């Protein structure tokens, strides 16, 4: 009888030995996989936040312009100065109005995409919504400058339509007005809304797409007119999506420091203030303190969003 | 529970003639596709009416036209004698139990059931009482504060039913409401639905593709095929006297003899259908045959033992094929299976050879599956 040969054993090189060890220790495998991300987030991100926090507790010696390394809350006390308080209020108001505008503009588009558009149309719209995100935000902002500038497209169109009076009226209005359209909060608001709109459309669309058509039929079946169906069924079910989108629009506006330099009045916004204090004025403690203001606002916002069910929609 | 039922119950119509729904020459096209093709139908008030047919036969479209989700391309739909063809769903006195239940996920059971009342601005106190009543009928008291996601499939189905019942519609539409439930639950719900319907006395229009369900529950039923109604009648009528080959095959097993095969057995080439349980299978080929009987010889090609009964498929020597259902009075599975391949004689009373319009053969939809056949 012929004894059949044993199948060739796997060659045992160092690579194989490592593989075998990893195979036997799933916890080690997991640790190795997560290590780079943990180092990146934990080390760099949390670490730098720690440094920032430390700096916010230091203060600036006004005469020498040097950072005094005494731990205290004196820098935070500076935030309470009227000028600084105004910056926070102004920024939050801008973020809130941009968020509301995005929600109002995004909803019909998302609703159309989710409920009426054919597959082709939906793909096309997806592309149209996402495509701007592929190009530089700076380029698009500058392009808007060309549209909104005194000799730009929008004033020209308004002029042709005989609506230039409307524009002048808007620029004279308190809060939103300014010497010209580019130098007004109105233009800042317009461009912010344009920039962040895709971040609202996509989550709202995702939420609406998960609402089965039979729910709308059931509502009508039980006697609800379209308006009631919208208010009682569509809106509550879309809410998590709107709130999820608002996290983007709100936080992106809150932290932006470039757009207020291109558009708007000379009044400062939060992100711009951080940028100026750290980069120009060399007041690292105040810049760090402003950063924590923005973070605190966002934490409060996220807490509210979580209660509204936004994280179930993501 | 009894009082609750009486509260929802509508006055039962005195005259049998009173109609709940009428289709007058209704056609529905979706683009080039004709989903419903010239349907005339009358559904009487207070009856349990089923629309039975394979998928794509137009039964669901008909239901959706009663509800108002679709508008007929041609023809009219009357509810209680009134033309509603142009009315939107929210202006029609009908309610629907959806196939997927369509419960609002963001509302509690009580809010779901009370939705229609809330829309009609019924005061809260009255609303609460009527919701409780409706939940009583479907035996779901105590579940008011649950969310649909916290309910089982059967419970969701009951909520959907309560939600439709609470508005006391003139007609209740049910779109394959038991389709998503497992067999045992489905059978239990069939009995319960029928019971509820009799207790509340509403007109039920019930769409299903399950012939046994339709036979078991309906007062009358319509068999749909290719957008047309092939036959309307009481279950026994439709089963015992199918009007077309399609009905014979869809409601029961397709046992149609046509042409030469029909001539060899009955003496006429006219197509006939014979119900499989009416046929007697004899192993003794030489026994004398009663002249009041039709008979044919053939070879048993398939034997399916189903416990209570055995289903034999016999290829006739005259051509064609008959399915025979025999009760297993004295037969065990072993004995039944031994018959395969043997020559047998099939005998049945002449009156059970029912002439039919030759129609397209739906195969043995719904009854070829031993699990279903065993019910």
pLDDT of residue B68: 94
Residue B15 pLDDT: 42
Q: Is A13 on the interface with B (CB under 8 A)?
A: no
Lowest model confidence (mean pLDDT) among A106-120, B142-156, B345-359: B345-359
For residues B350-372, average pLDDT: 60
Give residue B371's pLDDT band: very low, low, confident or very high (50, 70, 90). very low
| Percentage of chain B exceeding pLDDT 70 | 91
pLDDT in tens, B19-68: 899 999 999 999 999 999 999 999 999 999 999 999 989 999 999 999 99
Domains of chain A, by residue range, sit at: 70-133+182-313
CB-nearest partner of A221 from B89, B100, B120: B89
pLDDT at position B126 over 50:
yes
- pLDDT score for B46: 92
**Chain B residues within 8 A (CB-CB) of chain A?**
67-69, 88-90, 94-96, 98-100, 102-106, 115-116, 119-120, 163-164, 167
| Distance separating alpha carbons of residues A200 and A193, to the nearest angstrom | 10
User: Pick from A212, A223, A236: which is nearest to B102 by CB?
Assistant: A212
Percent of chain B with pLDDT over 90: 55
Name the pLDDT band for B11 (thresholds 50, 70, 90): very low
Q: Which residues of chain A carry a pLDDT beneath 50?
A: none
- The domain ranges of chain B are 2-240, 252-355
* pLDDT for A70: 84
pLDDT at B193 over 60: yes
Termini Cα distance of chain A: 67
- CATH assignment of A70-133+182-313? 1.10.3720.10
Burial A56-68 (b: 16+ CB within 10 A, else e): bbbbbeeeeeeee
* ipTM for the complex shown: 0.80
| pLDDT category of residue B1 using cuts at 50, 70 and 90 | very low
Q: What is the pLDDT of residue A151?
A: 82
- Right CATH for B2-240 from 3.40.50.300, 2.30.30.100, 3.40.50.970, 1.10.1510.10: 3.40.50.300
| Burial letters B13-49, b for 16+ CB under 10 A, else e | beeeeebbbbbbebbbeeeeebbbbebebbbbbbbbb
**Is B119 in Cβ contact with A224 (below 8 Å)?**
yes
| Arithmetic mean of pLDDT over chain B | 87
This model's pTM is above 0.90:
no
Q: Span B252-355: which CATH code? A: 2.40.50.100
Q: What is the average pLDDT across B239-257?
A: 86
Is residue B140 over pLDDT 70? yes
How is B334-360 classified by DSSP, letter by letter? Answer: HHHHHTTT-EEEEEEEGGG-EE-B---
Angle of helix B124-137 versus helix B153-165 axis, rounded to 10: 130
CB B307 within 8 A of CB B332: no
Q: Is the pLDDT of residue B298 over 70?
A: yes
- If you count DSSP H runs as helices and E runs as strands, how many of each does chain B have, helices first? 13, 18
Of the two residues B335 and A187, the one the predictor is more confident about is A187
Q: Which of A221, A231, A238, A308 to mutate to probe the B interface, most B CBs <10 Å?
A: A221
The mean pLDDT value for B198-217 works out to 91
């Amino acid at each position: 009888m012929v004894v059949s040969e044993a199948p060739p054993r796997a060659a045992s090189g160092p690579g194989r030995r490592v593989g075998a060890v990893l195979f036997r220790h799933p916890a080690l495998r997991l640790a190795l996989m997560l290590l780079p991300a943990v180092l990146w987030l934990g080390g760099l991100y949390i670490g730098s936040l720690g440094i920032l926090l430390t700096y916010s507790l230091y203060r600036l010696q006004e005469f020498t312009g040097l950072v005094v390394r005494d731990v205290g809350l004196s820098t935070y006390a500076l935030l309470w100065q009227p000028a600084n308080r105004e910056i926070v209020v102004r920024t939050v108001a801008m973020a809130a109005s941009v968020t509301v505008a995005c929600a109002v503009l995004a909803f019909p588009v998302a609703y159309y995409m989710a409920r009426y558009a054919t597959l082709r149309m939906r793909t096309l719209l997806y592309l149209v919504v996402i495509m701007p995100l592929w190009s530089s935000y700076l380029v698009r902002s500058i392009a808007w400058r060309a549209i909104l500038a005194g000799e730009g497209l929008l004033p020209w169109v308004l002029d042709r339509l005989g609506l230039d009076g409307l524009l002048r009226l808007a620029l004279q209005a308190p809060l939103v007005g300014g010497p010209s359209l580019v130098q007004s909060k109105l233009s800042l608001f317009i461009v912010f809304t344009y920039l962040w709109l895709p971040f609202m459309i996509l989550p709202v669309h995702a939420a609406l797409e998960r609402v089965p058509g039979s729910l709308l039929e059931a509502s009508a079946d039980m006697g609800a007119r379209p308006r009631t169906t919208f208010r009682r069924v569509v809106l509550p079910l879309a809410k998590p999506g709107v709130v999820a989108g608002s996290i983007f629009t709100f936080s992106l506006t809150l932290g932006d420091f470039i757009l207020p330099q291109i558009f708007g009045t000379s009044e400062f916004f939060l992100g711009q203030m951080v940028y100026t204090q750290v980069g120009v004025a060399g007041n690292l403690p105040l810049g760090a303190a402003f950063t924590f203001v923005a973070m605190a606002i966002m934490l409060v916002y996220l807490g509210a969003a979580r209660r509204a069910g936004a994280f179930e929609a993501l | 529970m009894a009082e609750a039922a009486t509260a929802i119950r509508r006055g039962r119509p005195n005259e049998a003639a009173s109609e709940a729904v009428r289709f007058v020459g209704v056609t529905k096209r979706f683009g080039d596709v004709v989903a419903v093709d010239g349907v005339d139908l009358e559904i009487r008030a207070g009856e349990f009416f089923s629309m039975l047919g394979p998928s794509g036969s137009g039964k669901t479209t008909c239901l959706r036209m009663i509800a108002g989700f679709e508008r007929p391309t041609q023809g009219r739909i009357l509810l209680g004698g009134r033309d509603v063809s142009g009315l939107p769903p929210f202006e029609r006195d009908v309610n629907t139990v959806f196939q997927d239940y369509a419960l609002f996920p963001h509302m509690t059971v009580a809010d779901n059931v009370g939705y229609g009342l809330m829309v009609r601005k019924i005061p809260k106190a009255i609303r609460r009482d009527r919701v409780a009543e409706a939940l009583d009928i479907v035996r779901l008291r105590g579940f008011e504060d649950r969310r649909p996601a916290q309910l089982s499939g059967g419970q969701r189905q009951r909520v959907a039913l309560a939600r439709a019942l609470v508005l006391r519609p003139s007609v209740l539409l049910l779109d394959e409401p038991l389709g998503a439930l497992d067999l045992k639950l489905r059978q239990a719900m069939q009995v319960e639905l029928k019971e509820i319907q009799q207790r509340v006395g509403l007109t039920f229009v019930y769409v299903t593709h399950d012939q046994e369900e339709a036979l078991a529950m309906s007062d009358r039923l319509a068999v749909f095929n290719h957008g047309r109604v092939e036959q309307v009648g009481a279950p026994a009528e439709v089963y015992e006297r199918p009007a077309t080959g399609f009905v014979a095959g869809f409601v029961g097993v397709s046992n149609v003899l046509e042409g030469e095969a029909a001539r060899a057995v009955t003496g006429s080439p006219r197509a006939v259908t014979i119900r499989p349980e009416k046929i007697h299978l004899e192993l003794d080929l030489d026994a004398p045959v009663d002249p009041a009987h039709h008979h044919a010889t053939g070879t048993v090609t398939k034997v399916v033992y189903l416990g209570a009964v055995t289903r034999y498929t016999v290829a006739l020597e005259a051509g064609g094929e008959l399915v025979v259902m025999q009760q297993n009075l004295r037969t065990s599975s072993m004995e039944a299976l031994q018959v395969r391949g043997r020559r047998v004689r099939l005998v049945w009373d002449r009156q059970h050879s029912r002439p039919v319009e030759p129609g397209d053969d739906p195969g043995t939809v719904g009854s070829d599956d031993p699990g279903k056949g065993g019910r």
